[in-house]
Amino acid sequence: MTSLIDWFDSRTGYRHLLREVLLEPVPGGARWRYVWGSTLVFTFAVQVITGLFLWTAYSPSAQTAWESVYFIQDVMSYGWLVRGIHHYSAQAMVVLMALHLIQVIVDGAYRAPREINFWLGLILMQIVFGLALTGYLLPWDQKGYYATQVSTEIMGAAPVVGPLLQQLVQGGAKYGHHTLTRFFAMHAGFLPAALMLFLVLHVYMFRRHGLTVRSPQRRPETTFWPDQVLRDAVACLGVLAVVLLCVIFKGADLSAPADPSEPYSAARPEWYFLFLFRFLKFQQVEHYGLAFGAIYVPTAILVVFVLMPLVGRWKAGHAFNVFFVFVLMAGIAGLTGLAIYEDRRNADFQLAVNEADRSGERAVQLARRPEMIPVAGAVTLLRDDPLSQGPKIFAANCSSCHRYNETDGTGRKVTVAAKESASQGSSVESRVEAPATAADLGNLGSREWIRSVLVDFKNHFAPLRNAVDKKVPEDLLDNGEMADWSETNKGMLTDPANKESLDALVELLASQSGRFAQTPEQKALVEQGRKIFETGTLAKGKLSANCVDCHSIAPAAAKKGGVKESSAPALAGYGSVDWLTRFIADPGRPENYGEHNHMPAFKNQLSARESDLLARWLAGDYYRSSAPITAAAH
């Protein structure tokens, strides 16, 4: 055995290599403060390993990037684990880099003869930032798409070469397929290759000059193996543990597929760039132009770092460097904290974040359907989804009068400027909730809606009292036939003896309603309700006027013949997609509200597509998965 090893050594010289690598002298004994460089090499190795495996399933193009990442994350075995490790190790790398830099500066390890190695380290830092930036875009989700767009716009604001550079990295004037192919080539090819090259040089130079020992030396000289190796390994284990905890308890998220036509109000950079983001929000900074805050100031900071080895020759210079790095870190921490604090207090931003989370989950939910993702890409999933689009169309077109569960449909309160604030200048933000002037459509066509219209009409439609045109409440509430009927019969209908009769009537009308996802109708009750509808006879007493005198309903299945003429709204298919589509187009038609209509017709204001999405949302006609999405307004 020994002779075999000797033979191998004589042919390869591996013993010498091993000695060279492992028996590096560590004067003053192994220390915890030397571990940072090794943890960085370790995280980079983790990134290479997980990255290569992710590569086997990733597909860079505008119609396949989000799709393949969704598939990795949600469908493939252990995809969540590999992507999660890659996601959080990247963030760990940025943190470790900062610690490594601080340690090197505090220990004076950047001074002669180690200047060049310090500069190599700064180059490595830029490469890691490049990897972080390019990696953020690759899932092609809203979050990465909009955050990266800010980065490339900043690049475009650089003097002279900026616009050309921006076109080059984007692969054109706009984001598209080639943005992804280029970012991917950078992320998985050019940058890792460059990083490896500079890392080899960095480690070689480090070995050439040896450790920068911090005095006093507490222990006798030792070697890298095994004392320091053990400390390094324990530190790496700690990093891996933190990464795994993040993966298991948080997971790498994936927001909705990138959609250039869908604004993303929750756009923020990765947390370690939040300080720069917050810095750009200072008016005093932006006063000097975008390039100043986003390019010149960071470049100036980098220049200070580059000059550190030269400045550090003097004792005072070294003190300045240490002072500078701590002030900078404090500034970064302060700005990051400020950005987080402000966002937490910003209700609009929180709503936007919730919305973004919800649409991300919705996109995944739709992608999981048996139909899967169409060839046109996942971006069409949300564009064609009533649950995603309906609320926005409602907010834009309906919420100036109607509400949806007391909001504008998207979960926001409808507000108007408070009158008194107008005189005090515009700087004071003062909003009051705007009163609705038409019905809340949150449960349109449901059993609760029907019950409330029957026994509590005036209250149900109370928002009409707020209408600017006072004829509206006069016509519909004060002199309305249905309002009058409801008031007259309320006592009788809510009489405990008539509980079943009322239930039957509600059940009949619910059977007419086209609202989706109601619990199944009870056939026996429906037939009982039909009798009441036609004869007005309750278990106890008789209605003041029969429903059928004014309203028509769809005939019972057994009977032949069309829908009867009626003087009041026809109730067949009430609240269904077709009914709503026709109603939204022109609510003044005789079978709807006729001459009692006060709602504008939308046939010229909404496209067929918008009106269809809105009607489907109101009627509840959209995909529901068995797994509920997070508690939401819907």
Partner 1 sequence: MPADPAQNDRSLADAAPASGPRRSFLAKALAFLTAGVLMTLPTAAGLAFFLDPLLRKRGASGGAVGRRDADGFLPVTPLAAIPADGRPQIFTVYDDSVDAWNKFANQPVGRVFLRRLPDGSVTAFNVRCPHLGCAVDYRPAQSDYLCPCHMSAFGLDGQKKNEIPPRDLDSLEVKVKDKSEVWVRYEVFKAGTPDRIVVSG
Binding site residues, partner 1, CB under 8 A: 13, 16, 62-63, 146, 149-150, 153-154, 156-157, 163-164, 167-168, 170-174, 176-178, 208, 259-267, 277, 280-281, 283-284, 286-287, 289-291, 348-349, 352, 383, 396-397, 400, 415-417, 426, 429-431, 604-606
Q: Over the range 578-594, which residues count as b (16 or more CB within 10 Å of their CB) and which as e?
A: ebbbbbbbebeeebbbe
- Sign of CA pseudo-dihedral 100, 103, 109, 115: positive
**CB 480, min distance to partner 1, A:** 28
From residue 378, alpha-carbon distances to 56, 67, 176, 358, 365 in Å are: 20, 6, 15, 15, 11
Task: Output the DSSP codes for 419-439.
Answer: GGGGGG-TTS--EEEPPPSS-
| Rounded-to-integer distance, Cα 187 and Cα 134, Å | 6
Nearer to partner 1, 219 or 281 (CB): 281
- Kindly state the tokens that stand for 82: 């590999």
**CB 337, min distance to partner 1, A:** 18
161 CB-near residues (< 8 Å, 6+ apart): none
Nearer to partner 1, 57 or 396 (CB): 396
- Kindly state the tokens that stand for 519: 């619990």
Nearer to partner 1, 429 or 595 (CB): 429
Nearer to partner 1, 76 or 352 (CB): 352
Residue 199: which of 125, 271, 297, 267 has the closest Cα? 125
Question: What is the separation, in whole angstroms, between the first and last Cα of the chain?
Answer: 73
Residue 348: which of 425, 410, 423 has the closest Cα? 410
**CB 240, min distance to partner 1, A:** 33
Contact 431, 412 (CB under 8 A): no
Q: Which residue type occupies 310?
A: L
**CB 57, min distance to partner 1, A:** 22
**CB 314, min distance to partner 1, A:** 31
Nearer to partner 1, 49 or 203 (CB): 203
Q: Three-state SS for 392?
A: helix
Place of tokens 């036939």: 481
**CB 604, min distance to partner 1, A:** 4
Nearer to partner 1, 196 or 347 (CB): 347
Nearer to partner 1, 106 or 353 (CB): 353
Residue 538: which of 415, 469, 454 has the closest Cα? 454
- Kindly state the tokens that stand for 575: 């609240």
**CB 217, min distance to partner 1, A:** 24
Nearer to partner 1, 284 or 519 (CB): 284
Q: How many CB atoms lie within 10 A of CB 527?
A: 14
Helix (H) or strand (E) holding 415: strand 415-417
Place of tokens 């959209």: 622
Nearer to partner 1, 31 or 178 (CB): 178
> E strands along 516-614, which residues?
none
Nearer to partner 1, 54 or 267 (CB): 267
Nearer to partner 1, 217 or 415 (CB): 415
Nearer to partner 1, 147 or 618 (CB): 147
Nearer to partner 1, 175 or 485 (CB): 175
**CB 243, min distance to partner 1, A:** 29
**CB 282, min distance to partner 1, A:** 8
Contact 23, 228 (CB under 8 A): no
**CB 548, min distance to partner 1, A:** 38
Contact 44, 199 (CB under 8 A): yes
Nearer to partner 1, 299 or 415 (CB): 415
**CB 261, min distance to partner 1, A:** 3
Q: How many CB atoms lie within 10 A of CB 604?
A: 7
From residue 13, alpha-carbon distances to 10, 201, 203 in Å are: 6, 22, 21
| Rounded-to-integer distance, Cα 405 and Cα 443, Å | 8
**CB 364, min distance to partner 1, A:** 22
**CB 8, min distance to partner 1, A:** 16
**CB 98, min distance to partner 1, A:** 24
| Rounded-to-integer distance, Cα 606 and Cα 614, Å | 10
Nearer to partner 1, 33 or 609 (CB): 609
**CB 350, min distance to partner 1, A:** 11
Helix (H) or strand (E) holding 315: helix 315-345
Counted residue by residue, the chain has a size of 634
Q: Three-state SS for 23?
A: coil
Nearer to partner 1, 250 or 603 (CB): 603
Helices within 442-576 (DSSP H only): 447-455, 457-460, 471-473, 481-494, 499-512, 523-535
Helix (H) or strand (E) holding 416: strand 415-417
| Rounded-to-integer distance, Cα 40 and Cα 195, Å | 12
- Kindly state the tokens that stand for 96: 């470790």
**CB 35, min distance to partner 1, A:** 25
| Rounded-to-integer distance, Cα 276 and Cα 293, Å | 8
